[in-house]
Amino acid sequence: MSLTSADVPSRSPQEWWEGRFEEHQARHDELHDVGLDGTWADLADLLKPGALQALHGRIVVAENAPANTAAKWALTWTVGPVAAAVGYAWATTGAGVLAGTGSCRLRFNPGGWPERVDLRGSTILVPNGHAWAECPGVEVAPVEELLRRTRDALVAVASPFVTALRPLGKVGATSLWAEVADDVGLCLTHAPGLDVTDDMVSRLAALLDLPGSPWKARPDVRAAPVEGGRGCLARKAGCCLAYLVPEETRTDDDGDPPARHQAWAARFPAASDPKPRTCSTCSLRELADCEERQRAWFEIDRQFSGGAQS
């Protein structure tokens, strides 16, 4: 699972964070209300007394979401971007990121959801021979140690959030940890322009399959041909419970422009959907259904945007 210098797209972690990873984060900016006026927050600040309670309460009110749905969304809006960044870095560069609440920042859209994550203050672990082995802030370690320490750091970040959100939503720890595993495992999905390889998927599996992890299951993930190249098709291990949001307050366009939403609605009419308001990656859907919807997403994305590099 090691990468040669030629395989790593940047000369240093800093260059990668500021270049390739930022491009990845910005891949859908044109679809949503993303701007520079978002508010940055240290992840540690979200653990201050009352902070998660306030976020949970805001989701309940703004989205008319049940308490358990709001708890899951609050976790994916805080720990989720960190877990996805850790997974994306490991899968695409072969480097482990030792995330910590003191080295992670999130930028929140004025609407309240996260649009950027910044992990540049984190220590990086790479195997011997990696292109970044001599870079500042990088440690060299055997792959087995790299995987364990990367997993343990992420678990340490997520644990206080899981503990705090459980009573707010009356949702079990297993259900919340499934969201963390899904955020790691689905980090390569919906990434037009990224040539997803079997090796990338294998790295994610190796990270998620480590013994002793708090998640009891991991998502189904594979690399496969899609419109425009090779992408990642996946089905979650868990469910974000979006389908519990009352019918009268649901929005099914996910913030997409009207033309894109109309193309999607024509392909998958809500009236004939046996699992309305469940995500295209939801564990409640059949695997074939998930993959069909994700392949369609790539087709529609290419139709309207040309499939930007990720």
pLDDT, one tens digit per residue, over 42-101 is 999 999 999 999 999 999 998 899 999 999 999 999 999 999 999 999 999 999 999 999
* Alpha carbons 155 and 148: distance in angstroms, whole number: 10
What backbone torsions phi and psi does residue 233 show, to the nearest 5 degrees? Answer: -110, 140
By the 8 A CB rule, do 170 and 60 touch? no
* Alpha carbons 239 and 159: distance in angstroms, whole number: 19
pLDDT at 37 (0 to 100): 62
pLDDT at 53 (0 to 100): 96
H-helix segments, the chain: 13-16, 22-25, 51-63, 67-93, 143-169, 173-185, 198-208, 258-267, 287-305
* Alpha carbons 274 and 267: distance in angstroms, whole number: 14
Can you list the residues of the chain whose pLDDT is less than 50? 2-6, 253, 307-310
* Alpha carbons 156 and 79: distance in angstroms, whole number: 11
pLDDT at 273 (0 to 100): 84
* Alpha carbons 193 and 20: distance in angstroms, whole number: 12
Q: How many CA atoms are closer than 13 Å to the CA of 106, on its beta-carbon side?
A: 25
Q: Which two tokens stand for residue 268?
A: 């998958």
Q: Which two tokens stand for residue 163?
A: 């503990």
* Alpha carbons 115 and 117: distance in angstroms, whole number: 7
The SS3 assignment for 265 reads helix
Query: For the purposes of burial, counting CB atoms within 10 Å of the CB of 282, is it exposed (0-12), middle (13-18) or buried (19 or more)?
Result: buried
Q: Sheet containing 123-126: give its strands across.
A: 96-98, 123-126, 138-140
Amino acid at 300: I
Q: Which two tokens stand for residue 182?
A: 């899904």
